[in-house]
Structure 1
Amino acid sequence: MSDALTPGATARLLGVAPSTLRSWDHRYGIGPRERSPGGHRHYTPRDVARLRELCRLVGEGLPPAVAAERVLSGPGPAAPRVPGQRPGGETLPVGGAPALQGVARAAMRLDADLVEQLVGRALRTEGVVAAWEDLAMPLLYGMGRKWEDTRRYVEVEHLLSWCVSSALRRVPAPGVPSPSGVRPVVLACGPEEMHSLPVEALAAALRERGLPHLVLGGCTPVDATERTVRRTAPRAVVLWSHVGGAGDVAALRAAAGAAADSPQAVAVYTAGAGWRSLSERAGGGHLGSLSEAVRTLDPG
């Protein structure tokens, strides 16, 4: 859900072993600064940037301890790169995992059919949560790094996002009916939030499990979120924000007010990096990743 990566996804993005990340965290203190309420480690973009710089320095021959000291004492890299990657080269900085490299190469060629086919295959074989956290998110991160390094390839970013969205929407529901008596989960974005792909990932993960849900999509008006909660009395509401703004706070307050008036209990959650800059907090808490959101929202 959020822009924070799991340790496995971060390792794939950087092209290092997960054990290496753990070692750097324990030995040098270069690790995730945030943890989910359940204690799980998640790497924010700033964490990833520091690790990229550490990878670069080690790749240039510095001992890891010296490189780590330099990373911790410095102001932080503005646009660090994966070792061996050439700025402006026709690749995405996504490490050496074959699955990631295959989709990345297809995206850079603008081969939409192949991108969608490969992402769809990962969704079918690995499941939505694993495919999102270990494949889609590192790819989207890599695309962001590519743009920062070159100020080019916006078309690749749009194509990649569209293909991931298309593949997510084709994830089928199980062949058995939804559990009886299970009320839906409402998934909404802030009123100015157009970045709705993580919401689509959560919707696909819930659909994969046969859990009823309603998706209101990007730029959800405040009154639309409030009316939906009042009309459907859902068991939960998830409000997504990537950037953060006054409209998100208004949406959260409206949803909380409608939930309080509901004859049945309605849990209200936030998700996305935008809430880090806001003082408002949801009664149900913050969902820091797709895996955490699914664990929280699955009544089974």
Structure 2
Amino acid sequence: MTDALGPGAVARLLGVAPTTLRSWDRRYGVGPRERSPGGHRRYSPADVARLRTLCHLVGEGVPPAEAARRVLSSADRSVPGPRVPAASAAPRSSPALPVHGSGHTPTLRGVARAAMRMDSDLVEHLLQTAVERHGTVAAWEDLAKPLLYGMGRRWEDTRRHVEVEHLLSWSVSTVLRRVPAPLAAPGTRQRPVVLACLPHEMHSLPVEALAASLREAGLTHRVLGPCTPTEATVRAIARVGPRAVVLWCHASGDHDAETLRAVARTAASAPQRTAVYTAGPGWRGVGDTLRVADGHLDSLTEGVRVLGG
């Protein structure tokens, strides 16, 4: 079969992991119809077409078992294929993941199901596709953020599935780090934006989403990450001379106001103007201290608009 492909090539072609291909073959019988003389899996064009359809259905939120049944039912009955073992025909379902918001799209449901099955390869594939098709801001606001919120609700309600929350967070972070920057024009230089969490803040995924969105927009930035000491943020302002600083706070802490005042003082004394913005729900308890900031960023969309202006 000179036109047959190996598992690695098919996985790259479809954007899934080789382990996912093996799982679909073993559990649902959607795999190669033939083997090489050495017993290795080799995928014909018809096999690849079936798998492409399966990927499309799963990406639209159809459970893999149902998607496989549809693919196999539409296949050419004259070509014998591998039988689906009885135990695999009805795999144990995973509990549903609650999602936040009203737009429960098929893609969102598909990612939720993949996360509950601990299929990180499929989660990343669907998230990556969403970023490439719709952009980082839309993928975060309409897909990743509702899923993460829903996972947090599930843990609060049941104290279960923390492993799914960790897997989902890691997958989201992985996809955000892959967002490429556009090619800069020769000689183009701009003062960066500094993104920092408060000293007690470990919840940094929204900062990663803002960083990826700025990178996608071609805006220079420096990320200091979770639990950034106040003195480190102050030193960063002095060293890089940013045009803006964003302080992220998810949950209020005892010294939030002190950190904001210290950063605002440093920014005000900088040779060039440095704007200071707050972001995150944790700033609600700070009160009048917020007046020392130039503004509060309520969403990723607003953050990219304001920082890119």
The TM-score bracket by the shorter chain reads 0.5 to 0.7
Which residue of 2 is the match for residue 172 of structure 1? 180
Q: Is the 8 A contact 2:196 2:246 kept in 1?
A: yes
Aligned counterpart for 1:273 among listed residues 281, 284, 287: 281
1:164-184: CA deviation from partner (whole Å, max 9, x where unpaired): 001000000012348834200
Which residue of 2 is the match for residue 287 of structure 1? 297
Within 2, Cα distance between the matches of 1:180 and 1:269? 25
Moved more, 237-246 or 216-225: 237-246
Q: Is the 8 A contact 2:278 2:293 kept in 1?
A: no
**Whose Rg is larger?**
2
1:130-186: CA deviation from partner (whole Å, max 9, x where unpaired): 000000111011112222332210000010001000100000001234883420000
Amino acid aligned to 2:227: C
- Provide TM-score, normalisation by structure 1: 0.68
Within 2, Cα distance between the matches of 1:179 and 1:273? 38
1:247 aligns with 2:255: yes
Within 2, Cα distance between the matches of 1:178 and 1:252? 36
Aligned counterpart for 2:98 among listed residues 93, 101, 104: 93
Which residue of 1 is the match for residue 121 of structure 2? 113
Moved more, 218-227 or 93-102: 93-102
1:198 aligns with 2:206: yes
Within 2, Cα distance between the matches of 1:194 and 1:179? 37
Which residue of 2 is the match for residue 138 of structure 1? 146
Within 1, Cα distance between the matches of 2:170 and 2:145? 14
| Unaligned segments of structure 2, at least 5 residues | 1-93
- Provide TM-score, normalisation by structure 2: 0.66
Q: What is the alpha-carbon root mean square deviation over aligned residues?
A: 1.7
1:298 aligns with 2:303: no
What SS class does the counterpart of residue 246 from structure 1 fall into?
coil
What SS class does the counterpart of residue 203 from structure 2 fall into?
coil
Aligned counterpart for 1:259 among listed residues 255, 258, 267: 267
Which residue of 2 is the match for residue 35 of structure 1? none
What SS class does the counterpart of residue 176 from structure 2 fall into?
helix
Within 2, Cα distance between the matches of 1:212 and 1:203? 9
Matches of residues 75-90 of structure 1 in structure 2 within 5 Å? 90=95
